[in-house]
Amino acid sequence: MGNVWFALGLTLFAGLATGVGSAIAFTAKRTNYRFLSVATGFSAGVMLYVSFVEIFVKGGDALVACYGDYWGHWVNVGSFFGGMLVIGLIDALIPSAENPHETHSDGELAPLHDPTAAMPDFESIAEQKKGDRELGAHDHAHGHSKLMRMGLFTALAIGIHNFPEGLATFLAAMEDPSLGVAIAVAIALHNIPEGISVSVPIFYATGDRKKAFIYSVLSGLAEPIGAGIAYLILRFFVGAGADAVPAALMGVLFAGVAGIMVYISLDELLPTSRAYGKGHDSLLGLVAGMAVMALSLLLMK
């Protein structure tokens, strides 16, 4: 049972990082975009490396042991792309109103942490050609109701995306606690800019910093909720104790989680890292994440 609480604690840690992002938006006098670029690139590097080198391989080993060398590999590959399909369907079906990973300009963030700062002139921004706009300035010229809707949809989209991330962290931590820690750190880093993305439109819609922060934290809490649901399914519906998950099921889940994490890295993290950074910031973060993950796996052998 101790492993269960440890795994749930890791998912809670990763999910609450959205609150860290929101706090940064409300307290930092200047957003360090290069840090966000390197951090999200680092997160992508960890996820990609651990997905292909560790999780996918573990899933394959479990499935080969259950179904034999030929069919085990087929089921492993099918589960991997099945995971991609699941997260792709979530992307397609869940409205996000605006890209939740879009960057925000310093002028747009200033009123969040400084009540005396001038509000950005969104009307004039909306009239500019898209290519002439300052990086990350959103078109907020459609009234507070649309802003609030955008913020809530962004929170909803991020919350639903956090369900499979919570599942990934939980399963990895149950199988290998050190692997779960690495994944939790990677997901926490990528949740920081998501917390900013939820806070900004809700703040401009309500003028309430506290409400914006609360919605940001709630979107991240979907992660431990997803882990809790995974545990309940394993324990009560599959009939497996937390420490005795059937090998075939664990293999399918691991391969599916690997697919989910690869999809998130390529579809969300790397584009976000490129948007926030300059030059090779995202590549440096990516390589650093892979190197740290590789080193940690080697030291644990």
pLDDT of the residue at 74: 97
Distances from the Cα of 86 to the Cαs of 12, 82, 92, 164, 264, in angstroms?
A: 23, 6, 10, 9, 11
Quick: pLDDT tens for 13-29: 988 888 888 887 777 66
Mean pLDDT over 60-76 rounds to 94
Q: Residue 191 CB: number of other CB atoms within 10 A? A: 26
Quick: pLDDT tens for 122-181: 555 444 444 444 434 344 444 455 666 666 666 676 677 677 778 778 877 887 787 788
Q: Which residues of 47-56 are buried (b: 16+ CB within 10 A; e: fewer)?
A: bbbbbeebbb
Assessment of whether the complete model's pTM goes beyond 0.85: no
Quick: pLDDT tens for 253-300: 889 989 988 998 888 788 878 877 777 888 999 999 999 888 877 876
Q: Could you give the CA distance from residue 60 to residue 73 in angstroms, rounded to a whole number?
A: 6
Round the CA-based radius of gyration of the chain to a whole number and report it: 20
Backbone region of residue 207 per phi and psi (left: phi > 0; alpha: psi in -120 to 50; beta: other values): left
Q: How confident is the model at residue 107 (pLDDT cuts 50, 70, 90)?
A: low
